Amino acid sequence: MTPFGTVELTVYPYECDAFGHLNQAALLTLLERARWDALARGPGMDLFERNGVWPAVRKATIEYRAPAFARDVLRIETTVVGRGTTSMTLRHVVRRISDDAAIAEAEMVFVCIDRLGRATPIPDEIARFLGPRPSGGHQPIQVPAGDVELAVDLRGEGVPVLFVHGFPFDRTVWRHQLATLSRARRIASTCAASAARGCPPVPTAIRCRGMRTTSWPCSTRWACGRQCCAASRWVATSSSSCCAGIRSA
C-alpha cells in the first residue's frame, strides 16, 4: 500500500518537442505534478512547510521506454521504495491509459533540508505519511539450486547482464549499478547455504567466457566437498549459451 495515490494527467501540446513527443524535461514536471496532486488529496500541500522542512531532489534516474504525445492521458503510480533518516526514495511508473504502454520509470531520492539548507531528520508527521520503512524497493525471488537457495534480484528488460561477486559479499554490493543501468535485464544473486548443513563456504574462483560480467564470477565449494556454482546454475536459466564458457580457475 502506498501513501501516494495513482494520478492521471494529460499531456499538453506545449509540453512536447518539435517532433510532437513529450519532452524529456517535461516528464519531470509531470512527475512533480503527480506528487503535488497526491499531497493535495492526502495530508495537504503544506505538509513539508508546516514541518519546517523541504524535500530537495538529490538524485533522479529515469528510463524512457516509449514516446508520449499531446492529448495522451498518462497514469502515474508513485511508491515509497526507500527511507533513511533524512532521505526518501520514490519510484514512479508512467503508463498511457489508452493502450497501457509503459512510457517511463523513474527513481528519485529526496533529502529533507531545513531553512538553512542543511539535511535534517524526516519529521514524525511526514514519516507517518510515508509509512513503515520499506524492506527494499526490489524484493528478490528465491531460486532453488541444489543444496543452496539463491536470492535473485531481477530488474529491467533487455540483454541479460549478470553481476557476480565473491565471498563474503552479497548482491547488495551492486545496488547502484542495478538501479542505474538501462536497456538491460539486470541480474544479481546471493548464494545462501542452509545453516542446518553446517558446511561453511570456502570461495573458489571460476571464469566465464561469452557473457557480459562486471567482475570474475565465483563459485562456492563447501568444506564437506560439495560444490555449487551459483553463476553457472543461474546462467543456465537465463542464457544457456554461456554455460559452456564456465570452468574452474
Task: Write the DSSP string, 174-207.
Answer: GHHHHHH--SEEEEEEEEEE-GGG---EEEEEEE
- Cell representation of residue 203: 570461495
Please state, in angstroms and rounded to a whole number, the distance separating the CA atoms of residues 249 and 241.
19
Reported as a pLDDT band with limits 50, 70 and 90, residue 138 is low
pTM > 0.75: yes or no: no
Q: What is the pLDDT of residue 203?
A: 38
pLDDT in tens, 119-129: 999 999 999 99
What are the beta bridge partners of residue 113? 54, 119
Q: How many CA atoms lie within 13 A of 76 on its CB side?
A: 27
User: Where residue 177 falls among pLDDT bands split at 50, 70, 90?
Assistant: confident
Cβ proximity of 91 and 79 under 8 Å: yes
Q: How far apart are CA 208 and CA 248, in angstroms?
A: 9
CB of 70 within 8 A of CB of 20?
Answer: yes
Q: Give the cell for residue 140.
A: 528478490
